[in-house]
A and B are shown apart, each in its own frame.
Chain A
Amino acid sequence: MTDTAMAATALGKRFGRRGGWALRDCAFRLPAGRVCAVVGPNGAGKSTLLALAAGLLAPTEGGVTVLGTDPASARARVGYVAQDKPLYPQLTVAETLRVGADLNPDRWDAETAGRIVSAGELDPKKKIRSLSGGQRTRVALALALGKRPELLLLDEPMADLDPLARHELMGTLMARAAQYGTTIVMSSHVVAELEDSCDHLLLVGGGRIRLAGEIDDLLGAHARVSTAVSTTAGAAGPAPATGGAPGGPPDLAPHTVVESRVTGRQLTALVRPAGPLAEDWRASTPSLEELVLAYLRNPQAAPLTPAEPEEAAV
């Protein structure tokens, strides 16, 4: 059994008594040591999910465990960088790192934090309020990594970085994950940003988990098929039909259809095969972006979250 870095059961969060649900019925399990992408459109609930895991919010229902305990007890072992990279504007970079040392008396790794900051050629005497967005990100990451987290939660970490800094910081994070086995969870609405570095995926849409699992497993569980529309079964008509519920075009049964589209006489679909595919179909493995987009375009498609948190009670 692998250790669980993060697991949720029936997790839900509603803002305000009458507000809408930002997140509902979330259940997943993230094994330790993974680099996990939390992907979804803006407002899908990614930030809420990360804030719940970081103990910044109390869940309305259900629960989330991190590092085998509740988020409040795991506070010292979890690093978190919020989307807007909050920092104390009146402090200098060096003072900010000293606050990090104050706040993490037993865990602070001044060397790592200092190295991340100095790699950006940041003047330690510069005030935080005078930094650019990318420089702020760097300081925020230094604060999060300086506390030697076992789990690192990053909300849109790379949004403000230029490609060079993005590459360099991503390298730092990956080295960290490889060296210390740090679990990294990072959210983005840009799939391509995370595709190369992540091995686990949580797709959040409409406040629910749509896909959860190892990226390779998820891709392997889906197939992109295309076939000529047969005159008998093509009753859906010549108009482009998108649909995906199990009751979609009959010739795709018994496979679970995520998305299907008819263009001219050609039917292309993204399916979750329930058995061997028909021989006259051309099948290929979808890219991660295709997979994510297919699920996001079709909110009614059945979610796939195979890693149900059996051990979530740990």
Chain B
Amino acid sequence: MTALALSPDSPMTTGHAPGAGWLYRLHRPALYVWIGLVALLAAGLVWLWGPLTDSSAAAWREYNEFCLKRGSCHYDPDAIVRYKDVYGYTTAALTALPFVVAAWAGAALFGREWEHGTAQLAWTQSLSPVRWLAIKLIVPTALVTAGTGLLVVLHRLMWSAGDGRIDTAKSWYDSFTLHTNGPTTVAFALTGLAAGALGGVLLRRTLPTLMFALACVTVVRLLADQVMPHLWPAVTRVSGLADGYRGSGLGVDSGLVTATAAHVADPGCGPTLASPGCERVYADLDATGFYTTYHPESHYWPLQLTATALVLAVAAALAVTAFVLLRRATATTASGGAETVV
């Protein structure tokens, strides 16, 4: 009994307000699942970071040095495939994590409590609704941030280890790697949590709340992909008609430059070096070269951090709305609700 009563947050229980021990009791299985999930993914990423990257890089070195140049070699194609597979699985899992968090928050953490009336049960024990919501957001936020943050850091380390050594490694601007290498993934997960809270207050049922939280994360992620390239000034590079496009990275725009420096659409003919017949096409368009507007890799952190800030702002807005609606729906203290939250 005493061992169980030892809640992980006993120091938090100050004075008269209940701490978060009840939350641990209610969601202990979810906590264990989360720890297991993070541990599993972390193990996969560490495996990838060390042995798999090394063996894949060795195979590529072997292949490039001997197979291509000398024609006789014995490289290890399995190592290359294994790296590629495990990279794909872990990156997909890390990409899916915010959706898992959203589904759990929508269904188990908030939706079910509203549907079963156990939210009200907590409020008629000595826990005010606002404090209830605050504890239910703060503790999972800490755990989700820690878990997802750890995985993102490991993914980044793992990716960096393979960068330039493995020919089939994903580029930094690959649509999945772009997010799993940086804090936007953490922000997406927190959006799921906040969306679950708001969905619960709005819809008060398990399934609709789950759908709402998933929809919010999906929309935020799609919007983030759309908006992200425009969050930082991009670089424009012009190259000759013979060479085709130069400069690779997160693309914003590309096309032809005319003699008057105007940007026009690319008819898709290709560089003249490769297809000389295109010279006439370009002459008709008065084109003098190709231009491409893109973000080089040095823009990664500015883009990531501004996008993260933006997504976190959305998450905060969802959470604040949930608090406001909950406060309006339930009785608050006459003093105007100077309820201490932590």
A70 and B334 contacting across the interface, CB-CB below 8 Å: yes
Q: Which residues of A contact B331 (CB under 8 A)?
A: 52, 55-59, 70-72
Q: Does A295 contact B (CB under 8 A)?
A: no
Q: Enumerate A35-77 residues with CB–CB distance to B below 8 Å.
A: 51-52, 54-59, 69-73, 75-76
Stretch among B18-26, B61-69, B191-199, B300-308 lining the A interface: B18-26
Question: How many Å from the CB of B202 to the closest CB on chain A?
Answer: 13
Query: B329's closest neighbor in chain A, by CB?
Result: A58
Decide if B121 touches A86 in the complex (CB within 8 Å): yes
CA–CA, A256 to B334, complex, Å? 40
Q: Are B118 and A86 in contact (CB under 8 A)?
A: yes
Binary flags per residue of A101-138, CB closer than 8 Å to B gives 1, else 0: 11111110000000000000000000000000000000
Name the interface size band of chain B. Answer: 20 to 34
Provide the bound-state CA to CA distance between A105 and B127, in Å.
10
Q: Is the CB of A105 within 8 A of B13?
A: yes
Residues in chain B near residue A78, CB distance under 8 A: 124
Residues of A within 8 A of B19 (CB): 102, 105
Q: Quick one: closest B residue to A106, CB to CB?
A: B16
Q: Does B120 contact A (CB under 8 A)?
A: yes
**Contacts A86-B118, A100-B125, A147-B125 hold; do A72 and B25 have CB atoms under 8 A apart?**
no
What A residues does B124 contact at CB under 8 A?
A: 54-56, 75, 78-80, 82, 144
Which B residues touch A71, using CB under 8 A? 331
A87 touches B121 (CB 8 A): yes
Which residues of chain B in 1-31 are interfacial with respect to chain A, using CB atoms and an 8 Å cutoff?
4-5, 7, 13, 16-19, 21-22, 25-26, 29
Chain A interface residue count, CB cutoff 8 Å, equals 40
Inter-chain CA distance A73–B256, complex, in Å, is: 69
* Contact between B126 and A104, CB atoms less than 8 A apart: yes
CB of B123 closer than 8 Å to a CB of A: yes
- The yes or no answer to A165 lying at the interface (CB within 8 A) is no
**A104 CB contacts on chain B under 8 angstroms:** 18, 125-126
Which chain B residues border A100 with CB–CB below 8 Å? 125
Q: Which of A129-184 contact B (CB under 8 A)?
A: 143-144, 147
Q: Is the CB of B13 within 8 A of A56?
A: no
Interface centre among B16, B122, B124, B127 (most CB of A within 10 A): B124
- In the assembled complex, B293 has its CB within 8 A of some CB on chain A: no
Given contacts A56-B123, A80-B124, A103-B122, are A70 and B18 in contact (CB under 8 A)?
Answer: no
Does any Cβ of A come within 8 Å of B128's Cβ? yes
Chain B residues within 8 Å of A101, by CB: 5
Asked if B164 lies at the interface with its beta carbon under 8 angstroms from chain A, I say: no
Kindly provide the distance from the CB of A186 to the nearest chain B CB, expressed in whole angstroms: 15
If A55-B331, A70-B333, A75-B123 are given as contacts, then 17 extra A-B residue pairs at C-beta distance below 8 Å, sorted by A number, are: A55-B123, A58-B332, A70-B331, A72-B128, A72-B334, A79-B124, A82-B121, A82-B124, A86-B117, A88-B121, A90-B26, A91-B25, A102-B21, A102-B25, A104-B18, A105-B17, A147-B125
What are 20 residue pairs bridging A and B, where the CB atoms are less than 8 Å apart in the complex? A56-B120, A56-B331, A57-B329, A58-B332, A59-B331, A69-B334, A71-B331, A75-B123, A76-B16, A80-B124, A86-B116, A86-B121, A87-B118, A88-B26, A88-B118, A98-B25, A103-B122, A104-B125, A105-B19, A144-B124
- Residues of chain A whose beta carbon lies under 8 Å from any beta carbon of chain B: 51-52, 54-59, 69-73, 75-76, 78-80, 82, 84, 86-91, 95, 98-107, 143-144, 147
Top 8 nearest A-B pairs (CB, nearest first) are A86-B117, A103-B125, A55-B331, A80-B124, A76-B126, A102-B22, A102-B21, A72-B333
